[in-house]
């Protein structure tokens, strides 16, 4: 019998950082799916909007905690990101909310969204949060 999942010594309780990173990964998948031309139904738009709303508020909270500490990098749990990263996440959430509400997206906005996604993915891969590009194949 094969067992899948984490080893017993790697199991731990989820914390707020895990939830933030999981929501961020989902937001990246949703944005990349939109840029690739996947259809947006009502349920998908609602899920995108709700996830982006949560991410925007979390980025504001985490960014304000960081700004109170004089722009130092705060290692909270497994995360250690700078203030600009949280600003990029907040921008990503705002951009995603706009296309989830069926506002028209022009060519410049698409390029800006793609650029922001690329930078966020690069930062996440540098920090070791994304093991590979396998997480993008879900969309």
Please report which confidence band the pLDDT of residue 61 belongs to, taking 50, 70 and 90 as the band edges: confident
Tell me which DSSP letter residue 102 carries: T
Total domains present in the chain: 1
Is 28 inside any structural domain?
yes
Instruction: Decide if 134 is inside a domain.
Output: no
**Could you tell me which of 114, 121, 82 has the C-alpha nearest to residue 95?**
114
pLDDT at position 97 is 95
Average pLDDT on 105-128 reads 87
Distance (Å, whole) CA 92 – CA 110: 11
Flag whether pLDDT at 133 surpasses 70: no
What is the distance between the alpha carbons of residues 113 and 110, in angstroms, rounded to a whole number? 5
Residue 125 within a domain? yes
Residue 4 lies in a domain: no
pLDDT band at residue 124, thresholds of 50, 70 and 90?
confident
- Separation of alpha carbons 36 and 26, rounded Å: 15
Give the range of the structural domain holding residue 78, as residue numbers without chain letter: 16-33+40-129
Does residue 44 form part of some domain? yes
**Residue 22 located in a structural domain:** yes
């Amino acid at each position: 019998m094969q067992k899948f999942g984490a080893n017993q010594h790697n199991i731990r309780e989820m914390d707020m950082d895990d939830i933030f990173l999981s929501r961020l990964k989902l937001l990246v998948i949703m944005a990349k799916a939109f840029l690739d031309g996947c259809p947006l139904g009502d349920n998908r738009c609602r899920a995108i909007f709700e996830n982006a709303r949560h991410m925007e508020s979390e980025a504001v909270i985490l960014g304000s905690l960081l700004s109170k500490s004089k722009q130092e990098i705060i290692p909270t749990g497994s995360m250690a990101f700078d203030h600009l990263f949280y600003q990029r996440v907040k921008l990503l959430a705002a951009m995603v909310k706009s296309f989830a509400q069926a506002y028209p997206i022009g060519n410049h906005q698409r390029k800006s969204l793609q650029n922001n996604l690329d930078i966020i993915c690069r930062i996440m891969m540098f920090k070791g949060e994304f093991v590979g590009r396998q997480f993008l194949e879900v969309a």
